[in-house]
């Protein structure tokens, strides 16, 4: 998995490429930890994400709760139908803002 980070003012975009498995979840956690304090909005661009495991979903929930507590937001963009199905099946579509 590769993560490309772009910070503009208080908006941070993380482009995630590849598979977000349990082994890579700590990499996502590290990137999110770096940007959450400095951002009002985190955009997760999933255009190139092939798979997300429950450990990756856990990191999304942690980021969402952190950002919600500071009146920020997490937005998921460009998720494939397969990723959207995972988000819907797990109820994450009701917690996260999802944009196509």
* pLDDT per position as a tens digit, 24-40: 999 999 999 999 999 99
Mean pLDDT score of the chain, rounded to an integer?
96
The confidence band for 21, taking pLDDT boundaries of 50, 70 and 90, is very high
Enumerate the H helices of 45-93 as residue ranges: 54-69, 81-89
Question: What would the mean pLDDT of 79-95 be, rounded to a whole number?
Answer: 95
Residue 14 burial class via C-beta count within 10 angstroms: exposed 0-12, middle 13-18, buried 19 and up:
buried
Domains of the chain, start order: 2-99 (3.30.750.24)
Q: What backbone phi and psi angles, to 5 degrees, belong to 39? A: -120, 150
Are the CB atoms for 1 and 17 separated by under 8 Å?
A: yes
pLDDT of residue 28: 96
Distance from the first to the final alpha carbon of the chain: 22
pLDDT of residue 83: 97
Are the CB atoms for 52 and 83 separated by under 8 Å?
A: yes
pLDDT of residue 29: 96
CA nearest 52: which of 77, 86, 80, 29?
A: 86
- The 3-state DSSP class for residue 8 equals strand
- Over 90: is that where the pLDDT of 100 sits? no
User: Each residue of 41-59: pLDDT tens digit?
Assistant: 999 999 999 999 999 999 9
């Amino acid at each position: 998995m590769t993560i490309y980070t772009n910070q503009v003012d208080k908006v941070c975009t993380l482009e995630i490429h590849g598979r977000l498995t349990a082994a890579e979840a700590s990499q996502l956690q590290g990137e999110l930890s770096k940007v959450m304090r400095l951002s009002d909005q985190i955009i997760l661009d999933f255009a190139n994400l092939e798979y997300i495991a429950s450990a990756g979903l856990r990191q999304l929930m942690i980021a969402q709760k952190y950002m919600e507590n500071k009146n920020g937001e997490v937005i998921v963009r460009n998720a494939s139908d397969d990723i959207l199905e995972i988000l819907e099946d797990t109820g994450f579509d009701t917690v996260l803002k999802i944009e196509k």
